[in-house]
Structure 1
Amino acid sequence: MAYAIQWVRSLLFIIAVYLSIAVIGLGLFPWALVSRRGARAGCMNVSRFVRWAAPWMIGLKTEIRGTPPDYECIVAAKHQSFLDVFMVFSALPAGKFIMKRLLMYAPIVGQYGLRIGCIPVDRGKRGAAIKQMVEAVHEGKATAGQLIIYPQGTRIAPGVKVPYKVGTAVLYEQLGQPCVPVAANVGLFWPKRGIYRKPGTAVVEFLEPIPPGLPRHEFLKLLETRIETASDRLNAEAGFHAPN
């Protein structure tokens, strides 16, 4: 019975999230079209709504640890579900994502993404996408801020080990910016697929920045070690231990 009640609460929460995207997105759309500030306000308000509604609708609290950067940098984040997207974005003053080009054509979401400075890339064309983004930054086409990238390329369930892609290291090397690793345990509560959301405390943790200048291989190894070690620690705090 308890599972069924939580499932219904989860369903209502998901409906509320999508309604918030529609209502806030459409309500601020005229402002977003003429002002990047308006687009960022729309995205920030949706992110804050999700974090505000989750505790009382499904019993899921959210916690940001560490010091989110307020300077121009790369933010390499553990990606487990859509919840970490809302949490990381809400913690940054000028966050922008590398997003799938397909999202450009999504109603509301695509236009807001472009307006806040997200870089659309073709899935499966990572090398070309990295080159395109680096060129955009150097030519001043991309807006300044915190560039959020997922070094494993997609959502990965807690405890699952997937290699880190070289794309993040290439960006780090060519942009010459510090990289802030971000760990998370949110997938324990908000999974990649399905409706059920588990009560608890979802944590996103900003870790010690990696200064620019490290060799590509050394950087990627350090990035993976920091994110995976911290994410395993957060999982253990929530009572989860990956099977051997």
Structure 2
Amino acid sequence: MNRLRSWLFDAAFYGGSIPFVVLAPVSALFGQAALKAHVMGWLRWHRLCARTIMGMRSRVEGVAPAEPALYVAKHQSFYETFELGLILDAPLIVMKAELMEIPMWGWAARKYGMIVVDRSGSGAALRRMLREAAAAREAGRSVLIFAEGTRVLPGETPPLRPGFAGLYKALRMPTVPVALDSARVWPRRGPKHPGTVTFAIGEALPPGLPRDEAEARIHAAINALEPAFRIG
């Protein structure tokens, strides 16, 4: 049954996403407000498919700050890349450069202000990412980064990628960790399952902390729902 539901979800979500992707450049022509509304519509379509077809729900623990912030999240599945956009009110996402090569959608994503990270880690790529992040700060927009760099399995706690430290220093924003457990219902392989995904929004770190301290505190906080970090 879960395998059938997974197939139905994929057919409905990806099929329904075609108009959103194709029409994104059109929305971009009408400015940021129109493009944000377009993006939020796509995020809501994902939530509707996840809830009605897969029986997935989200539970949020903690409160996001009212002011713009740098959000640093765990990454276990495709689910949070959409759901966090709704929970955090459409932050700009730090995304891999390959996604910007998608015809039409990549252009619209740049117009929206998405921040590109080149995982080759070159100095030029890092400087470009920091310039784009600075533009987001000046515009008063929040930023979301999956700082471990890729999806991980439950219990895996790889170190943060260097891009986090650069963003933390450059943005000078409150930095908010987000732990989650989406892989319980959306595993990397095999069918998806009904269930509730917890998003634990942690305590904001102030800007200006030493790099080692900021990385250690954020790393522990985004892994707060992982077995290795559970207390008791």
After TM superposition, the structure 1 = structure 2 runs for residues 1-244 of structure 1, keeping only pairs within 5 Å, are 5-27=1-23, 29-125=25-121, 127-138=123-134, 143-194=139-190, 196-232=191-227
Aligned partners of 1:180 and 1:208 also within 8 Å: yes
Alpha-carbon distance, 1:122 to partner? 1.9
CA pair 19-141 structure 1, distance change in 2 beyond 3 A? same
For residue 229 of structure 1, give the secondary structure of its aligned residue in structure 2. Answer: coil
Alpha-carbon distance, 1:80 to partner? 0.8
Q: Which runs of 4+ in 1 moved over 4 A?
A: 137-143, 231-236
Alpha-carbon distance, 1:168 to partner? 0.7
For residues 12 and 122 of structure 1, the distance between their equivalents in structure 2, rounded to whole angstroms, comes to 34
For residues 162 and 20 of structure 2, the distance between their equivalents in structure 1, rounded to whole angstroms, comes to 36
Of stretches 203-212 and 127-136 in structure 1, the one that deviates more from structure 2 is 127-136
The count of corresponding residues between Structure 1 and Structure 2 is 231
For residues 235 and 53 of structure 1, the distance between their equivalents in structure 2, rounded to whole angstroms, comes to 32
Q: Deviations over 1:50-100 (max 9, x none)?
A: 212222212222223322344222110101111011111111234111111
Of stretches 46-55 and 138-147 in structure 1, the one that deviates more from structure 2 is 138-147
TM-score normalised per structure 1: 0.84
Alpha-carbon distance, 1:45 to partner? 1.2
For residues 117 and 208 of structure 2, the distance between their equivalents in structure 1, rounded to whole angstroms, comes to 26
For residue 160 of structure 1, give the secondary structure of its aligned residue in structure 2. Answer: coil
For residue 107 of structure 1, give the secondary structure of its aligned residue in structure 2. Answer: coil
Of stretches 109-118 and 176-185 in structure 1, the one that deviates more from structure 2 is 109-118
Q: Report % sequence identity.
A: 32
Alpha-carbon distance, 1:126 to partner? 5.5
Alpha-carbon distance, 1:135 to partner? 2.8
For residue 204 of structure 1, give the secondary structure of its aligned residue in structure 2. Answer: strand
Alpha-carbon distance, 1:138 to partner? 4.2
Alpha-carbon distance, 1:108 to partner? 4.6
Aligned partners of 1:70 and 1:92 also within 8 Å: no
**Could you list the runs of 5+ residues in structure 2 that have no partner in the other structure?**
none
For residues 138 and 54 of structure 2, the distance between their equivalents in structure 1, rounded to whole angstroms, comes to 37
Alpha-carbon distance, 1:34 to partner? 2.6
Aligned partners of 2:169 and 2:208 also within 8 Å: yes
Aligned partners of 2:130 and 2:166 also within 8 Å: no
**Could you list the runs of 5+ residues in structure 1 that have no partner in the other structure?**
237-244
Of stretches 109-118 and 7-16 in structure 1, the one that deviates more from structure 2 is 109-118
For residue 70 of structure 2, give the secondary structure of its aligned residue in structure 1. Answer: strand
Aligned partners of 1:58 and 1:199 also within 8 Å: yes
For residue 114 of structure 1, give the secondary structure of its aligned residue in structure 2. Answer: helix
Match of 1:241 in 2: none
CA pair 60-136 structure 1, distance change in 2 beyond 3 A? closer
Paired letter, 1:225: A
CA RMSD, Structure 1 to Structure 2 (Å): 2.6
